[in-house]
Amino acid sequence: MRDEKFNEIYIQPLHIIYGDEYEKIKSATLNFSNVFDKIEIGRPSLFNNKDYFDAIEALKYQLPKIEDNSSIVLMGHGTTHHENSAYFQLEYVARKMGLKIFIWQLLNLFLKSQTLLLI
């Protein structure tokens, strides 16, 4: 890009949470800070508390009507990064906004199944 005379670079990752993958992009971006006049990276979709409410507000129009005896399960891949708590916060906000949603992470399901196998 430098050879093509780009001086300013703006990167917007498509990550939902600030996790390992986002940190890798952020770290890689630092390697080019002396190559360009300006290089910036945008934040993930769920960055501050308001983002969670906005996401659930948008999501509720995409979900089918939930009957009284039903719930919806949403799946995420999960992470060992401390930002895995974002899944729990999203579920909390959904419940606070009146949606019967469970948010599960594949990583946690895998770890729980491994624990069960060990017992």
Task: Report whether 43 contacts 83 (CB < 8 A).
Answer: no
Q: Which residues are catalytic?
A: 77
Task: Name every residue whose Cβ is closer than 8 Å to that of residue 13 and which is 6 or more positions away in sequence.
Answer: 21, 22, 25, 41, 42, 44
